[in-house]
Structure 1
Amino acid sequence: MQTVNVNELKALLLEELEHIVNTSNNLIRKISTDHWHFRPHQNMRSLLELVEHLVSVPSSDLLILKESSEAVIRKLEADIAEDPSIEKLTQWMTKGVYEVRSYMEGLTDEEFLRKSTKPFYLEHGSVQAKWLIEITTHAQHHRAQLFTYLKMQGYEISMFDLY
């Protein structure tokens, strides 16, 4: 039986997260700010709200896994919303993924696999490895939403923008 190399697993997940961030930033750079108010349905986020949420994912999820309060998370979201320029938004996401990488690489194998932290909104916690999976899938989910919003607005994008 082959043993799992924790650093390889961690590196693969971080590589995927960085890829999602890079391709998300590339999609964001294609947006005309004239479309910020596009909302596919009344009960959905506007394009700007979606982008602000997407770019917050690495940083906000990292704060959540570090057991920060809801007030700290809301402050981050408010800071991101202060300057909705495309350059600033993509910088937020890039900074966030760097912070996630630094945090995860600083964990020992034992901490990565066994250290559990609890978000303010749940009664139970998750281990750090599961948090890294959560951050990656959370970003992937909202990148897919962004892709769909842009398709609905007629942007010339394809699956090649995702790979």
Structure 2
Amino acid sequence: MILKKRRESVMGAVSVLRDELLAVLELGIRTMEGLLQKVKEKDWNYRPAENMRNLQELAIHIISISEVDLHLWQEKDQETIQNLEASYEQIESTKAMIGAMHKGFQQYKTYMVSLSDEELLTKKTKPFYLERGKIQAHWLVEEISHFFHHRGQFLNSLAMI
């Protein structure tokens, strides 16, 4: 009985942690929306260094992160991922970028919330480019890290203009 209560308590904590992590990612999405809206038309081609993406290329990568990563964590094949990335590359307007970013995040969030606490902690999946899988909780943390890394790059690029 005590063990059962402890397990229920731990699993409840897992849900709280998942919700907090998703809230952090959602904050990143909302603040990225604001950053996208600050870009002037003439600045989309700004490239901070020769070996870096320009603002538009970086924006396209950022807005695609949630949906592309979701498909990676769901073990979609390389061709599917490349086709998805190519569809994002067709987006041109800021409004369309923001809409696509929110849509991708909602899909990602729906998937993560659909997992039981046990699945979040034990279900392993493997993107096509890795040899070993990782648990879904790992992918959630990686998602946040990936998104905020590039959001930071975008913010720094905007500050240089």
Q: Flag whether TM exceeds 0.5 (same fold).
A: yes
2:37 to 6, 26, 29: 29
TM-score when normalising by structure 1:
0.90
RMSD: 1.3
1:101 and 2:93 equivalent? Answer: no
- Give the C-alpha shift of residue 80 in structure 1: 1.2
Match of 2:146 in 1: 138
1:68 and 2:73 equivalent? Answer: no
1:118 and 2:145 equivalent? Answer: no
Runs of 4 or more, structure 1, over 6 Å off, are none
Q: Which runs of 5 or more residues in structure 2 are unaligned?
A: 1-5
- The whole-number CA distance in structure 1 between the counterparts of 2:81 and 2:41 is 25
- The whole-number CA distance in structure 2 between the counterparts of 1:33 and 1:118 is 39
1:148 and 2:156 equivalent? Answer: yes
Aligned-partner residue type, residue 79 of structure 2:
A
Q: Which runs of 5 or more residues in structure 1 are unaligned?
A: 154-163
The DSSP-based 3-state class of the residue aligned with 1:43 is coil
- The whole-number CA distance in structure 1 between the counterparts of 2:140 and 2:10 is 20
Match of 1:159 in 2: none
Match of 1:89 in 2: 97
1:135-155 deviations in whole A, cap 9, x for unaligned? 1111110110000000001xx
- Give the C-alpha shift of residue 44 in structure 1: 0.7
1:40-91 deviations in whole A, cap 9, x for unaligned? 1111111110000000000000000000112111111111111210001111
TM-score when normalising by structure 2:
0.91
1:18 to 17, 26, 30: 26
- Give the C-alpha shift of residue 3 in structure 1: 3.6
- Give the C-alpha shift of residue 96 in structure 1: 1.0
Aligned-partner residue type, residue 66 of structure 1:
Q
Which moves more between the two structures, 79-88 or 10-19?
79-88
**Rg (Cα) greater in structure:** 2
- The whole-number CA distance in structure 2 between the counterparts of 1:67 and 1:3 is 28
The count of aligned residue pairs is: 153
Match of 2:135 in 1: 127
